[in-house]
Amino acid sequence: GTANIGVVGLAVMGANLARNLASREGNTVAVYNRSPERTRTLLAEHPEAGFVPAYSVEEFAASLARPRTAIIMVQAGAATDAMIDALVEVFEPGDIIVDGGNAYFPDTIRRERAVRETGINFVGAGISGGEEGALKGPSIMPGGSDEAWQTLGPILRSIAAVAEGEPCVTHIGHDGAGHFVKMVHNGIEYADMQLIAEAYDLIRRGTGMSPAEIAEVFAEWNRGELESYLIEITAEVLRQEDAASGGPLVDVILDQAGAKGTGAWTVQTALSLGVPASGIAEATFARSLSSHPEQRAAAAGLPGPAVAPALADPAAFIEDVRQALYASKIVAYSQGFDVIRAGAAEHGWSIDLGAVSRIWRAGCIIRAQFLNRIAEAYAAEPGLPLLLSAPYFAEALGRGQAAWRRVVAHATGAGIPAPAFASSLAYYDGLRAERLPAALVQGQRDFFGAHSYRRVDRPGSFHTLWSGDRSEVEV
Ligand code: 6PG
């Protein structure tokens, strides 16, 4: 074989990744798709790429130099399993199969274990950046063995996005670590998007500004500490006019948000790890709520506030929303990194959180200046227990909290749903509280289930004889 890398699955993501690989010095790319039509189209449209086409898995294996390295870009789930099985049949020990789709990380752990039995390396790699990222430089989050990384590292480094001179790829950890981190990336993406959407809604309903006018607000924000790809595209979407109605496009898009699963996986994972990723959860649930038209119709007549609070100073309110957005964003990222920290501990991965923040600075959907602040926080204190407690973030939260409270109060008073803003603030207040009513919950648990409690003034576990003389015993 003459190709040093192969791509299997030539839908948009796979085709773009193959073209990206082919455009880099020293790469010869073998391509294979289950239906040959796609392969022929790609070859016809991109003669410059010098692709080596294959029309069967056998031919594909034969076209690759050893150790064979192939990236699978097919639908997560059954299609991925089928393609892995087919490649395992024709590959040999030492070869490398990479799954570049959005696989659920327990699947990746399972697949890695099964493929390893054959002596073939299996690497689950999260790839972020959408179609354009795949073509011009994505952020890549590979898991898998150190041995596979030896071969794969240089290839992935050559196609990744570059942030301040550093390629946006790092070996995240073994087996499913890469897909785990990609999953959390998407969870943070959900929170970031929901927070921006809430900011837009609050400004629109609070000030009556048009989407095009609010686009200018976001464009302005994009020149400050909120600078990010998601803020940038938000301005573009809000500016867009609809040809059919002549009005803003956003007003004719059905307000039911879709989801392909990664946000829900992040929340499920956080729940089972006992990590309070409440902002990510609210963002995921907000999509669910939007997508139940029958329930929304049934609730449409329920009363809201009798009098809507008037905004004395719209410009000041917009600045408050900006600060609330920044504070809530800090919470979302802090929670996301907390999920990664806990997941790494649970699965025995040694994940460098600073390195994760650095490979998210370019190429991926959540790319932002902000990731530099996170990188700095972990550089200063690699064992940081909670991101938002780092001096820079603690200071920013302290600076923004008054505005944050005004925005949540306004939303509540006006009957505007702002679940991600509100839950992020509640998380912040929960963490900083000196005493929590968790003490009462412990009392209740002890009352009905003798679950026992600990005391603040001495060690040990205690139970109150609630149905007896209510004296306390040590248990
Ligand atoms: C990325 C995106 C990508 C994809 C999501 C969208 O990092 O490039 O996250 O993976 O756009 O699957 O997810 P939803 O369809 O669930 O919004």
pLDDT in tens, 136-146: 999 999 999 99
Per mean pLDDT, which range of 212-226, 303-317, 399-413, 460-474 is the poorest? 303-317
Residue of 73, 365, 367 to mutate, ligand 1, most atoms within 8 A of C-beta: 365
- The answer to whether 115 and 122 have CB atoms below 8 angstroms apart is yes
Q: Which residue has the tokens 């898998």?
A: 144
Does residue 182 carry a catalytic annotation?
A: yes
Check pLDDT > 90 for residue 309: no
Catalytic residue among 48, 59, 164, 189: 189
pLDDT in tens, 193-232: 999 999 999 999 999 999 999 999 999 999 999 999 999 9
The answer to the question of whether 33 is labelled as a binding residue is yes
What percent of the chain is predicted at pLDDT more than 70?
100
Q: How many Å apart are CA 291 and CA 312, to the nearest integer?
A: 34
Query: What's 382-449 look like in SS3?
Result: CCCCCHHHCHHHHHHHHHHHHHHHHHHHHHHHHCCCCHHHHHHHHHHHHHHCCCCCHHHHHHHHHHHH
Q: What is the mean pLDDT of residues 95-118?
A: 97
Work out which ligand 1 atom sits closest to the CA atom of 366: 7
445 is in an annotated binding site: yes
Rounded distance between C-alpha atoms, residue 279 and residue 366, angstroms: 15
Is 402:408 a contact under the CB 8 Å cutoff? no
pLDDT of residue 390: 98
Could you read off the pLDDT of 37-92 as tens digits, one per residue?
999 999 999 999 999 999 999 999 999 999 999 999 999 999 999 999 999 999 99
Burial-class residue 77 by CB neighbours within 10 Å (0-12, 13-18, 19+). Answer: middle
Report the chain's mean pLDDT, rounded to a whole number: 97
Cα–chain-centroid distance for residue 132? 18
pTM recorded for the entire structure: 0.97
Q: Is the pLDDT of residue 308 over 90?
A: no
Q: Which is the closest atom of ligand 1 to the Cα of 130?
A: 8
Torsion over CA of 442, 444, 446 and 451, rounded to 10 degrees?
Answer: -60
